[in-house]
Amino acid sequence: MGREIKVMVIDDSAVVRKVMSSILDRDPNIRVIATASDPIFAMEKMCKEWPDVITLDIEMPRMDGITFLGKLMAERPTPVVVCSSLTTTGAETTLQALAAGAVTIITKPGLGVDDFLQDSSDDLIAAVKAAARANMGAVRHTAQARTPPPDSDGPRTAMAQTTERIVAIGTSTGGTLALERILTELPRVSPGIVIVQHMPEMFTAAFAARLDSLCAIRVLEGMDKQRVLPGQALIAPGGKHMQLVRSGAQYIVEIKDGPPVNRHRPSVDVLFRSVARHAGKNAMGVIMTGMGDDGARGLKEMHDAGSFTLAQDEESSVVYGMPREAVKVGAVDRILPLSLLAGAIMRGSVRS
């Protein structure tokens, strides 16, 4: 048995508080120490006993979740799991919470709490355990280092010609801020990029749009048969797998249904394996912060196919799970801090 994780549940719905507490208390390593209907009540209770992890709703009375997050991260950074309704309208607000320092997202239903109990209990428990292991120093540092939007002196369009070079990136917990850090540092003349970020359905489109507004390159949610172009990054849509294929002299992505791989859809392994098969030595693979081992075996296939492979280092990772597993299986050529990954992508290193 591991260390007990003390959790506080903050949500204005009494039913959601009850259900989430019931789910979490089933795990012998988790104890819900308190619940609160809004952040004001929560702060009063936190003065008596501080939680290891907080689950947080965003839209609440008296103080919204974004404001609370700002106060929390400034005064005493604590791992936060955002619990947000699965709606397009709520996606942008949830992404603001991630940008403010929340570790990860769990979706909850607007209706049908019983279904939530049955379908999402494993995800909720896994998210809390991942958050408990989060490197909050990396969260805070990455949030503080966010790059402002680049100045623009003209329309941002992907370069017209294709390229043989492909960069495939896989990440999960802590990856939203890490991706923002990397992509905002890339110039318009950059290789075509394909990305899997573990994120629920309905959130990836808003995430891509947010990054697109901040970056010199174009950032889009990937669509089936969409061409991969220099100066452009395609993010796998939530709830679908994304694969790279070659069409003549061009690369395109295919968006497919299918069962979860390593408990994820989209899966990093699915993307990496397709890149190994269709791009090989013309590709670079980057595995970043995240819980679990999704992507490790796929990155090894890329490595064995001649791709140059990178892993984010432990110190800059929010959760050093996915990179660690990739290193363990011999999939990684170089381990770099987050601050050096964009430069490595642009240098286009090749294996000796």
Percent of the chain clearing pLDDT 70 (strictly above): 87
- Mean pLDDT in residue range 342-351: 80
Both 285 and 209 in one domain: the answer is: yes
Coarse DSSP helix, strand, coil percentages of the chain, rounded to the nearest 5 percent: 40, 25, 40
Instruction: List the structure tokens of 235.
Output: 């993010």
Torsion of CA 31, 54, 92, 252, to 10 degrees: -60
Question: Beta strand 226-227 with 218-221: parallel, antiparallel or unpaired?
Answer: unpaired
For residue 331, pLDDT over 60 is answered with yes
Is residue 139 a part of any domain in this protein? no
- Mean pLDDT in residue range 229-238: 96
For residue 164, pLDDT over 70 is answered with no
Residue type (1 letter), 32: V
For residue 257, pLDDT over 70 is answered with yes
pLDDT score, position 113: 62
Both 205 and 99 in one domain: the answer is: no
For residue 275, pLDDT over 80 is answered with yes
For residue 106, pLDDT over 80 is answered with yes
**Cis before 230 (ω within 30):** no
Residue type (1 letter), 122: D
In the annotation, is 198 catalytic? yes
- Mean pLDDT in residue range 315-336: 97
pLDDT score, position 118: 60
From the list 198, 241, 278, 303, the catalytic residue is: 198
Both 324 and 178 in one domain: the answer is: yes
Task: Give residue-wise pLDDT tens across range 57-90.
Answer: 888 888 888 899 999 998 999 999 998 876 565 6
Among candidate residues 22, 26, 27, the one with its CA nearest the CA of residue 35: 22
- Mean pLDDT in residue range 223-236: 96
Is residue 258 a part of any domain in this protein? yes
Rounded to two decimals, what is the model's pTM? 0.86
From the list 85, 172, 274, 317, the catalytic residue is: 172
pLDDT band at 344 (very low <50, low <70, confident <90, very high): very high
Output the domain CATH number for residue 265.
3.40.50.180
Is residue 158 a part of any domain in this protein? no
Is residue 159 a part of any domain in this protein? no
- Mean pLDDT in residue range 242-269: 93
Both 177 and 253 in one domain: the answer is: yes
Among candidate residues 243, 74, 232, 47, the one with its CA nearest the CA of residue 143: 74
Task: Give residue-wise pLDDT tens across range 202-213.
Answer: 899 999 999 999
DSSP string across 283-339: EEEEE-SBSS-TTHHHHHHHHHTT-EEEEE-TTT-SSBSHHHHHHHTT--SEEE-HH
Both 123 and 185 in one domain: the answer is: no
Task: Give residue-wise pLDDT tens across range 7-50.
Answer: 999 998 898 899 899 999 999 999 999 999 999 999 999 999 99
CA-to-CA separations, 38 to 45, 63, 125, 259, in angstroms, rounded: 11, 7, 22, 37
- Mean pLDDT in residue range 201-227: 95
Cβ(116)–Cβ(20) below 8 Å: no
Both 30 and 79 in one domain: the answer is: yes
Cβ(283)–Cβ(257) below 8 Å: no
Instruction: List the structure tokens of 43.
Output: 């702060």
Both 189 and 88 in one domain: the answer is: no
Structural domains of the chain, count: 2
pLDDT band at 163 (very low <50, low <70, confident <90, very high): very low
- Mean pLDDT in residue range 281-292: 96
Helices (H) and strands (E) in the chain, counts: 13, 15
Q: Identify which has the larger pLDDT, 155 or 73.
A: 73
pLDDT band at 311 (very low <50, low <70, confident <90, very high): very high
The contacts of residue 121 (CB under 8 Å, 6+ apart) are 23, 26
Percent of the chain clearing pLDDT 90 (strictly above): 69
**What's the CA gap between 296 and 192, in Å, rounded?**
22
Q: Identify which has the larger pLDDT, 99 or 85.
A: 99
- Mean pLDDT in residue range 236-263: 93
For residue 138, pLDDT over 60 is answered with yes
Question: Across the chain, what does the average pLDDT equal?
Answer: 88
Is residue 142 a part of any domain in this protein? no
Both 204 and 265 in one domain: the answer is: yes
In the annotation, is 278 catalytic? no
In the annotation, is 213 catalytic? no
Highest mean pLDDT among 92-101, 142-151, 246-255, 294-303: 294-303
Cβ(174)–Cβ(134) below 8 Å: yes
Q: Which of 103-107, 141-145, 195-199, 234-238 has the lowest mean pLDDT?
A: 141-145
Is residue 325 a part of any domain in this protein? yes
Is residue 157 a part of any domain in this protein? no
> Which structural domain, as residue segments, surrounds residue 24?
5-134
pLDDT score, position 153: 44
Among candidate residues 53, 2, 61, the one with its CA nearest the CA of residue 32: 53
Both 213 and 77 in one domain: the answer is: no
Residue type (1 letter), 96: Q
pLDDT band at 114 (very low <50, low <70, confident <90, very high): low
Both 101 and 180 in one domain: the answer is: no
From the list 38, 52, 212, 294, the catalytic residue is: 294
Output the domain CATH number for residue 9.
3.40.50.2300
DSSP string across 108-153: E-SS-HHHHHHHSHHHHHHHHHHHHT--HHHHHHHHHTPPPPPP-S
Task: Kindly report each contact of residues 38-45 with a partner whose C-beta sits within 8 Å and lies 24 or more positions away, as own/partner.
Answer: 38/10, 38/12, 38/62, 38/63, 39/10, 39/63, 39/65, 39/67, 39/68, 42/8, 42/10, 42/68, 45/8
